[in-house]
Amino acid sequence: MIMSPMKTLERIKTSSRPESKPSKRVNLIRPLIQPFFVLLVSILLLEGIFTVARIGERDYLEPDPVTGVALIPNKRITYRGENYSSRLINKYGMAWREPSLKKASGLFRIAVLGDSMIEGAQVEECQTMCHFLEQNLNANGSGQKFEVLNFGVPSFTLGQAYLLLKEKALSFQPDLVLIFVRDHASYGVTPPHLESGFPLGARPYFFVAANGALYKSNAYLMQWWRGQEAKRLRNLGWLRRHSHIWGALGAIVEQSMNWFMQTRANFDQFLSKACLNFSPKMIADKAPAPKAPSANPPASSDPSALPGEQRTTQCVRQYFPVVAAILREMNRSCDQKESKFAMIYIGSKDEAGLAEYDLMKSFASDKSIQLLDLTESFDKAQSHSTAPLFLSDAHFTPSGHEVFAKLIANDLRQWKWFQDRPKTLTDPR
């Protein structure tokens, strides 16, 4: 078939048309999209590497409107400090395996509350006191099944443990509640022991009225809650929960700030000494005038009136009404849920420590509360132990947790109620 000259010429013109040029908008967007895409891929790749290497998993505390501070649910802890450990916080906000909320028939459940000594983030979960206590009790051959739940939270005071008991721990239907009471139990419970920053500055405080009733004050907690630090933590909640990169950056910033503050404190100390040597008057002029001591000591019903945090016999006796009121309310809350309540106490042998122990012992006897005093037995075990029981920052080593659990188990077996308790294996409550 022979094409006409006109059609051939038309085809040549059509095929020789120049290609359409891309729009200016595409040319402007492409340089922006490519760096963004590269950045996104880099972040995802780095996030994956940090996840596998368990980097950036030290930040695991979040603000809580009730207790002030709580563990971030479903967050993995990887502790790198005086020791190495890694574990997962369960959905209930416990640094522990995930138990069922409803207690199984025949199970004897023990809930343990306290601070970082109970939580044990510095060791593996299988090396904590709660794990060793459960293992020890189940090895007695009685056929009774025991389960020990860890409700420890770092920096927790006795008052925060009381709130956690009512808000969460009693929901697990424990047969027995153990509260770990450290030396100087009033620390952080009353307003004179004010701290700054999270988590120490985010606490509810307690006081006792003239009639002996316990009252909680959220004034300091709400003041912190409305501050910039609390807002920053809440706004960055998603990143703190899910981003390992953010966790690593936060750790670097925290260490840098600690180094800066320590360096500044050392420099200020050096400068003060240097100025003191050359011009004593210059330091004296800047120093505030000392306040005269109060002629009348504050009433025991108002512990917030006593200034300072010095540990003295007067301080212990002044604050103990608040401690006693919190312990009394914890015991009452357990009674309402048909749970038994007991205290684990490790004190010191100085004058203030002995005064506190006498008050603890008298209070427990008056209220018929079991007091497991491990002060002497733990000191004896420490002196005979070939392995160190404490890490560099005074937390338990795995050996310390094991010894601690063994002493508690031995004391529980000597407790008459524990010996004569209802056999939950055959007669569940």
Residue 190 has a pLDDT of 81
Higher-confidence residue of 272 and 140: namely 140
Domain ranges of the chain: 81-186+320-419
C-alpha closest to that of 204 among 186, 187, 218: 218
Please state the rounded mean pLDDT for residues 338-348.
93
Using pLDDT thresholds of 50, 70 and 90, give the confidence band for residue 279: very low
Calpha distance 83→121 (Å, rounded): 9
Residue 301 has a pLDDT of 39
Please state the rounded mean pLDDT for residues 203-208.
92
For 220-230, what is each residue's pLDDT tens digit? 888 888 888 88
For 349-400, what is each residue's pLDDT tens digit? 888 889 999 999 999 999 999 999 999 999 999 999 999 999 987 899 999 9
Give the 3-state DSSP-derived string for 145-165, with helices as H, strands as E and coil as C: EEEEEEEECCCCCHHHHHHHH
Higher-confidence residue of 270 and 103: namely 103
DSSP 8-state secondary structure symbol assigned to residue 337: T
Contact partners, residue 64, CB within 8 Å, separation at least 6: 70
At which residue do the structure tokens 């770990």 appear?
180
3-state secondary structure of 130: helix
Residue 294 has a pLDDT of 37
Fold for domain 81-186+320-419? Rossmann fold (3.40.50)
Contact partners, residue 108, CB within 8 Å, separation at least 6: 144, 145, 146, 147, 175, 176, 421, 424, 425
Q: Is the pLDDT of residue 244 over 80?
A: yes
Q: Is the pLDDT of residue 214 over 70?
A: yes
Range among 61-70, 81-90, 238-247 rated most confident: 61-70
Question: Tokens standing for 68?
Answer: 């002030």
Residue 181 has a pLDDT of 93
Residue 236 has a pLDDT of 87
Q: Is the pLDDT of residue 340 over 80?
A: yes
Lowest average pLDDT, out of 131-140, 305-314, 318-327, 357-366, goes to 305-314
For 142-170, what is each residue's pLDDT tens digit? 788 999 999 999 989 999 999 999 999 99
Contact partners, residue 171, CB within 8 Å, separation at least 6: 101
Q: What percent of the chain has pLDDT over 70?
A: 79
Residue 12 has a pLDDT of 52
Higher-confidence residue of 116 and 36: namely 116
Q: Is the Cα torsion angle 326, 328, 331, 335 positive or negative in sign?
A: negative
Q: Which residues are paired to 344 by β-bridges?
A: 180, 372
Using pLDDT thresholds of 50, 70 and 90, give the confidence band for residue 261: low
Q: What is the pTM of this model?
A: 0.80
For 404-429, what is each residue's pLDDT tens digit? 999 999 999 999 898 887 665 444 44
Using pLDDT thresholds of 50, 70 and 90, give the confidence band for residue 258: low
Higher-confidence residue of 26 and 340: namely 340
Calpha distance 385→408 (Å, rounded): 17
